[in-house]
Amino acid sequence: MESQRPEISIVSPVYKAEKILDKLVAELEITLHKLKVSYEIILVDDRSPDSCWDRMQEISKTNPCVKSVRLSKNFGQHPAIMAGLSLTKGNWVVVMDCDLQDQPKEIEKLYSEALKGADVVLAKRKVRNDSLYKKATSYLFSKVYSFFTDTHYDNEIANFGIYKRKVVLAIINMSDYIKFFPLFVKHVGFNTTSIEVEHSERLEGESSYSFIKLVRLAFNTIISFSNKPLKLFVKLGMLISVFSMMFGLYNIYLSLSGEIEVLGYSSIIISIWFLFGVLITIIGVVGIYLGKVFDQVKQRPVFIIDEIID
C-alpha cells in the first residue's frame, strides 16, 4: 500500500566495513529520528571477504528497520547500489557509501533541500578528505569523461545524494549492462540541484579500488556512454587520407621535375607501419564496441541476490 511506504530509504553498498557497520547504522538512526520520518536502511553486502555479512545479519535480527542483502558474488559497487535500489520502498531514497566519509548527519540538509521542490539533491564535497592519489585519479577521470562525452562531470560529486522515487524507478529501468550510478542520475535528468556537505576522513581500511580497477571502470564507462572514440578515429582516418594525397601529389611533382630518381625505402616502411598501426587500432576499438553490444544483447543480470535478512 502507498500509505505504508517509508518516507526515506537508505541504500549503502558494503565492502570491507565490518568494524564500522554498527556506527553507520547508529548515526543513521540518530539523523532519521531527528527528522521524525519513517525509514528503512538497506545494506548490500557485495560479497565482502571479511565478516561483514555475519555482522549485518546480527544487526537485522535486532533492528527491524535494517534490511541486509547479500549478493551471490562480488559484482562491484555500482551493481550493488542497483540491487539496493531495486528493493527500496521509500518516497525518497538516499544513496551513500558505507565508510562514513559520507556523513549521515548531512541527510538532514539533503532532505530539507529536496522538500523545496527538487527531484534530485546531490551532495557536493566542499573539502575532499581523500588521499592525493584518489583526488588525482578522480580529477583525471572527470576530465577524460567530460572530453569524450562533451558534458561536464563534477568530480566533487559522487554517489551521495537523495533521489525522489520516480528518479529511482527511471534509473532501475535503464537496461545498460555497464552500471555507473552517478552517470545514470545525470542521464535520466529531472529537476536536479546540489548542496555542499562535509566530507570525513575514512575511518577504517583503504579504498577497494586499485589502479587497475579504476582504469577498467573509467574505460568501460566511457565506452558505454560515448561513441566519440569512433568519431575521433574517423577524423584521424580522413586526416591521414588528406595528408597522404598531398604527399603523393608532392612526390609526383618532384618526379616530374627530375628531383627524385629512386623513392626512399625508409619513407615507405614508415608509412606502412604507421598506416597498419592506425588500422589495427581502429579495428580494435570497433571490436571493443561490438564486444559491449554482445554483452548487452545477452541480457545477463548485473547482480544476483543470494539472501535477504528482513
List per-residue pLDDT tens for the chain, 310 residues long: 445 788 989 998 888 888 888 888 888 988 888 888 888 999 998 888 888 888 888 888 888 888 888 988 888 888 888 888 889 888 899 988 888 888 888 888 888 888 888 888 888 877 665 566 666 766 676 677 667 666 666 666 778 888 989 888 888 887 766 677 777 777 787 888 888 877 776 655 455 555 676 666 666 666 666 667 666 766 776 776 667 667 666 666 666 666 655 556 556 666 676 676 677 767 766 776 776 666 666 667 777 888 888 7
Report CA Rg, the chain.
25
Quick one: DSSP state of residue 21? H
Q: Which residues pair with 8 in a beta bridge?
A: 39, 92
Pick the closest to residue 5 from 36, 40, 44, 42 (CA basis).
40
| pTM for the structure as a whole | 0.68
| b/e code 104-121 from CB counts within 10 Å (16+ = b) | bebbebbbebbeeebbbb
